Amino acid sequence: MTTESGHGVSRTVLPGGLRVVTESLPAVRSVALGIWVGVGSRDEDHAHVGATHYLEHLLFKGTRRRTALEISAEMDAAGGEMNAFTAKEYTCYYARVLDADLPLAVDILSDMVTSSLITPKDVDAERNVVLEEIAMNDDDPSDTVHEAFTSKLFGDTPLGRPILGTTDSINAITRDQIFEHYQARYTPEHLVVAAAGNLDHDTVVELVRKAFGPALERAAEPVLPRLAGDQRGHASGVGTTLISRSIEQANLVLGCEALARTDDRRFALGVLNAAFGGGMSSRLFQEVREKRGLAYSVYSFSGQHADTGMWGIYVGCLPSKADEVLAICRDEIARVVEEGLTDAELIRGKGQVRGSIVLSLEDPSSRMSRLGKSELVYPRLEPVDEVLTAIDAVGHDDIRAIAADILTRPKALAVVGPFDDPSPFQA
């Protein structure tokens, strides 16, 4: 067992490669706990599409020690909150409880992760729930257009496929395939236990050691952070994809491939994105909504993965205004590439990014997430002051350079709305 401390964070590696990372926040009376698994939807082959998210559901259905009702009832009786989510590159099971109830949270989450039964009966019952979730997303055009954009950009690769899987893949997958996924990935060397709140690190370590028990007996080293992927060399998709729907609004996403998660230029892109389309004072909001009243919702966004990323613009507008809105978006992209940001925009962009980081750290759940994600997908936990210094250091030359590189890249366009012909829409 090895233990390290620094910047208010303590880290211990238990036998079997299980990592425990905590941050003590004495001023609060709660603890946020998460068990992070280094597996996401991008780790699925064709035979397992949707298995990671399906498995997330199934771990709440019962273990050797608890039924599904007992899992939820014990947490409810303590007034705690518990849930999970699946992302492209990791999965997280989390709870937030009173500090006195941390032993219960550790025991329940650890029991779910190490000892779930995943019975054929539960697999069949939960299949309908997952299919309902897919249908719910399909009914939301803003979700659909983002999925269509990702699929267009990254193609038929694990990164381009939906996290939930598809109706066909969920109907086809078997209990044995899901259980195989569980056994291969839910082992201590792939796991991180992260906690933040009113806690003592050594106490958390002992609780985790006891809860995992025999699972820690196999010798293994922690799996290294995910700093690369299989997307390099894959040509990013360009052009237009149209999903025709009889709805009252056109939903548009225009964007391109962008930066990997550890690219040093990510701070400049974050500031540029905030000034360009990240708030009510941003260029997009002012030009599209405030000056012309062409849309209720308009924003730009960026996302990062281990080896690549994306940048894009989302707009929801009247179908008759779609061409005009797209033209304005293209003009604003060209203008920021040509001219960069004004001094005032640069200041606002930095302030927005800096403020969102600092304000999020007021919440133990956000601090816990920072610990878990850093352990799984970053080479190290970056001190907050270091991140803020990097943001403050972004200058006009950095903005012009990142705009010239990223915003000029060939674009993909996804459209969801009452249209029959994609040809009028040019990416």
Q: How far apart are CA 130 and CA 170, in angstroms?
A: 8
Q: What is the dihedral of CA 20, 390, 227, 94, to 10 degrees?
A: 40
Reported as a single tens digit per residue, the pLDDT across 374-399 is 999 999 999 999 999 999 999 999 99
The residues that bridge with 243 in the sheet, in sequence order, are: 416
Q: How far apart are CA 273 and CA 303, in angstroms?
A: 11
Q: How far is CA 254 from CA 14, 259, 310, in A?
A: 46, 16, 11
Closest CA relative to residue 23, chosen from 357, 362, 262, 386: 362
Mean pLDDT within 66-76: 98
CB 94 within 8 A of CB 149: no
CB 271 within 8 A of CB 394: yes
At residue 412, the 3 state secondary structure works out as strand
- Give the model's pLDDT for residue 233: 57
3-state helix, strand, coil in the chain (%, to 5): 50, 20, 30
- Give the model's pLDDT for residue 47: 84
Mean pLDDT within 272-296: 96
Give me the half-sphere count of Cα atoms (radius 13 Å) on the Cβ side of residue 159: 23
Reported as a single tens digit per residue, the pLDDT across 305-314 is 999 999 999 9
Higher per-residue confidence, 236 vs 327: 327
239-244 sheet: strands from edge to edge: 239-244, 412-417, 250-257, 309-317, 295-304
Give, in degrees to the nearest 5, the angle at Cα 273 between 41 and 384: 75
- Give the model's pLDDT for residue 228: 82
Counted residue by residue, the chain has a size of: 427
- Give the model's pLDDT for residue 4: 63
- Give the model's pLDDT for residue 230: 72
Positions marked active-site: 56
Q: How confident is the model at residue 424 (pLDDT cuts 50, 70, 90)?
A: confident
Reported as a single tens digit per residue, the pLDDT across 107-162 is 999 999 999 999 999 999 999 999 999 999 999 999 999 999 999 999 999 999 99
Question: What stretch of H or E contains 44?
Answer: none
Mean pLDDT within 310-335: 97
Q: Read off the tokens for 214.
A: 């025999």
Mean pLDDT within 36-47: 94
- What is the Cα 21 distance to its own chain's centre? 20
DSSP E strand stretches across 170-307: 191-197, 239-244, 250-257, 295-304
Mean pLDDT within 225-236: 74
Q: Read off the tokens for 279.
A: 């708030």
Closest CA relative to residue 143, chosen from 323, 324, 314, 319: 314
pLDDT at residue 247 greater than cutoff 60? yes
Q: What is the pTM of this model?
A: 0.94
Reported as a single tens digit per residue, the pLDDT across 267-281 is 999 999 999 999 999
Closest CA relative to residue 291, chosen from 301, 280, 300: 280
Q: How confident is the model at residue 1 (pLDDT cuts 50, 70, 90)?
A: low
Mean pLDDT within 13-31: 97
pLDDT at residue 349 greater than cutoff 90? yes
Mean pLDDT within 347-353: 97
Q: How far is CA 278 from CA 36, 81, 261, 271, 366, in A?
A: 29, 30, 19, 9, 20
pLDDT at residue 417 greater than cutoff 60? yes
